[in-house]
Chains A and B, each alone.
Chain A
Amino acid sequence: NAGVTQTPKFQVLKTGQSMTLQCAQDMNHNSMYWYRQDPGMGLRLIYYSASEGTTDKGEVPNGYNVSRLNKREFSLRLESAAPSQTSVYFCASSGGSDTQYFGPGTRLTVL
């Protein structure tokens, strides 16, 4: 079991560029999440998907879109990157136990 995988691990963008962060889980979990981590602010929820076919906004959704492609995959898209989106992005998934399992993260820098 790979658990939760994320690609890419690192990315540098210029302001205005777009990109998609990929996330996949092999634990047959229904729910998936995207967080961003900034120094001194903990993790903040961007979007989540409670089950295949549904997505909902979290605490900080502005500037992002998501797609729950199937039960395994949940992608996060930045349509026009801004320096304020420089952060570490984590994907997570959960089944029926409320425990979330996290991927290794993507470090994104927007210049």
Chain B
Amino acid sequence: AQSVTQLGSHVSVSEGALVLLRCNYSSSVPPYLFWYVQYPNQGLQLLLKYTSAATLVKGINGFEAEFKKSETSFHLTKPSAHMSDAAEYFCAVTHGGTSGSRLTFGEGTQLTVNP
């Protein structure tokens, strides 16, 4: 079985400050890892994904994440927060296999950006 833990259900930063959203995973096989963003009253949008290539993954809107196997982590960062980054962020891991890409999601982290 695979699982994801997101540390901190709410994170608050000032505009221009570093954003760090934490994600730890558990997987018995090499994982594929994802970060999705959800803006209010919208569906989920892919930010970035790790699929066993480069361990530092760059995504949209200036976000990036680093896969650290030794720490079973895939934390999301952005050097300078913008007001438009306020949203809920979800980390997810695949079950893998051949019968579809079943995602297991973390509980989500609500990011607030203060002016």
Taking the nearest CB of chain A, how far is it from the CB of B114, in angstroms?
22
Taking the nearest CB of chain B, how far is it from the CB of A68, in angstroms?
12
Tell whether, in the assembled complex, residue A100 and residue B101 are in contact, meaning their CB atoms are under 8 Å apart: yes
Residues of chain B having any CB pair with chain A under 8 Å? 9, 32, 34, 36, 41-46, 49, 51, 90, 94, 98-108
Residue in B closest to A44 when the chains form the complex, CB atoms: B105
Residue in A closest to B42 when the chains form the complex, CB atoms: A104
In the complex the two chains form, what is the Cα distance from A102 to B92 in whole Å? 14
Tell whether, in the assembled complex, residue B106 and residue A102 are in contact, meaning their CB atoms are under 8 Å apart: no
- A34-74 vs B, CB cutoff 8 Å, 1 = contact: the mask equals 00000011111100111100101010000000000000000
Closest 5 CB pairs of A and B: A50-B100, A42-B105, A102-B43, A31-B100, A50-B99
Which residues of chain B are within 8 angstroms of A84 by Cβ–Cβ distance? none
- A71-108 vs B, CB cutoff 8 Å, 1 = contact: the mask equals 00000000000000000001010100011111111000
What class of interface size applies to chain A in its complex with B? 20 to 34
Tell whether, in the assembled complex, residue A104 and residue B43 are in contact, meaning their CB atoms are under 8 Å apart: yes
In the complex the two chains form, what is the Cα distance from A55 to B43 in whole Å? 23
Residue in A closest to B103 when the chains form the complex, CB atoms: A100
Tell whether, in the assembled complex, residue A42 and residue B90 are in contact, meaning their CB atoms are under 8 Å apart: yes
In the complex the two chains form, what is the Cα distance from A90 to B44 in whole Å? 9
Which residues from 5 to 26 on chain A have a C-beta closer than 8 Å to any C-beta of chain B? none
Which residues of chain B are within 8 angstroms of A99 by Cβ–Cβ distance? 34, 46, 49, 101
Tell whether, in the assembled complex, residue A42 and residue B108 are in contact, meaning their CB atoms are under 8 Å apart: yes
Which residues of chain B are within 8 angstroms of A98 by Cβ–Cβ distance? 32, 49, 51, 94, 101
Which residues of chain A are within 8 angstroms of B44 by Cβ–Cβ distance? 43, 90, 92, 102
Residues A102 and B49 in contact in the complex (CB < 8 Å), given A42-B90, A42-B108, A48-B100: no
Tell whether, in the assembled complex, residue A48 and residue B102 are in contact, meaning their CB atoms are under 8 Å apart: yes
Which residues of chain A are within 8 angstroms of B106 by Cβ–Cβ distance? 42
Which residues of chain B are within 8 angstroms of A54 by Cβ–Cβ distance? 99
Taking the nearest CB of chain B, how far is it from the CB of A74, in angstroms?
12
Taking the nearest CB of chain A, how far is it from the CB of B36, in angstroms?
8
